[in-house]
């Protein structure tokens, strides 16, 4: 077990489509397998003592994918919520959602709301799903909320601390570690504000193959690094 455990781990779950293609399957099979990896990852995170997990499930740009794939993913959301809720409750996991949720289909919105409400009192691990999410969209939404806030003096300068309060989940601490599976070396418009000082860990392992052993490798890499936050340390 690494000496230093990140409090908050963010994950870009990349590689479902490539995993399916390598096996001669359709892309949706990769998404189904990827959903199973979420279960393994939550168990591994809980065992390691991680308090927060945030996963990038569907971006604002993902609407550009083939309509059949988008439809499958939107239909997968209610199924995921229904199937996983008993597991979340059993393991003390609280579900949160960030993004432009009102842009999702009604069935998905209702399923997410139900799962979030029922798991709200759980306190072992907070599991946040980013859906219809974009880092730039989050910042723009925060700016527009500030502009629309009639209780705030119009001539008052915005500080970093105040701006954070207008983000989607200001009560959740910034990620300490970002894991990206699938080998790509970019953050893809994910948590642009919150990832400012996160340690980055990229693995070639495709998301459906990401298991507890791979999660432990990421934690070990994090534990070996010295976090400076702009300071000079001996």
62 among known catalytic residues? yes
Question: Out of 16, 47, 62, 141, which one is annotated catalytic?
Answer: 62
- DSSP H or E segment with residue 200: strand 199-202
- DSSP 8-state symbol, 103: G
Q: Is the pLDDT of residue 73 over 80?
A: yes
Using an 8 Å Cβ cutoff, are 89 and 122 in contact? yes
Residues 6+ apart with CB under 8 A from 157: none
**Band of residue 155 on the pLDDT scale cut at 50, 70, 90:** confident
91 among known catalytic residues? no
Q: What is the pLDDT of residues 173-182, one digit of tens each?
A: 999 999 999 9
- Domain definitions of the chain by residue range: 15-207
**pLDDT (mean) for 31-41:** 94
How far is the first Cα of the chain from the last one, in angstroms, to the nearest whole number? Answer: 25
Token pair of 180 as six digits: 């990206």
Q: Is the pLDDT of residue 2 over 90?
A: no
Q: What is the pLDDT of residues 88-102, one digit of tens each?
A: 999 999 999 999 999
Q: How many residues does the chain have?
A: 234
Using an 8 Å Cβ cutoff, are 109 and 101 in contact? yes
What does pTM read for this prediction?
0.93
Identify the CATH number of the domain defined by range 15-207: 3.40.1180.10
């Amino acid at each position: 077990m690494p000496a230093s455990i990140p409090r908050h781990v963010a994950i870009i779950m990349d590689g479902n489509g490539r995993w399916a293609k390598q096996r001669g399957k359709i892309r949706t099979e990769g998404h189904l397998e990827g959903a199973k990896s979420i279960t393994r990852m939550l168990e591994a995170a809980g065992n390691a003592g991680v308090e927060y997990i945030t996963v990038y499930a569907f971006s604002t740009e993902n609407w550009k994918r083939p309509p059949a794939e988008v439809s499958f993913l939107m239909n997968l959301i209610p199924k995921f919520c229904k199937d996983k809720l008993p597991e979340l409750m059993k393991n003390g996991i609280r579900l949160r959602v960030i993004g432009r949720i009102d842009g999702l289909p009604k069935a998905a919105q209702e399923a997410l709301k139900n799962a979030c409400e029922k798991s709200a009192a759980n306190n072992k691990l907070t599991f946040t799903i980013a859906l219809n999410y974009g880092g730039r969209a989050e910042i723009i939404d925060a700016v527009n909320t500030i502009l629309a806030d009639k209780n705030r003096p119009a001539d008052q300068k915005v500080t970093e601390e105040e701006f954070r309060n207008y983000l989607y989940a200001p009560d959740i601490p910034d990620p300490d570690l970002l894991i990206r599976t699938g080998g790509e070396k970019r953050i893809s418009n994910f948590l642009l504000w919150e990832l400012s000082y996160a340690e980055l860990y990229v693995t070639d392992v495709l998301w459906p193959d990401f298991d507890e052993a791979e999660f432990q490798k990421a934690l070990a890499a994090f534990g070996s690094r010295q976090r400076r936050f702009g300071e000079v340390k001996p």
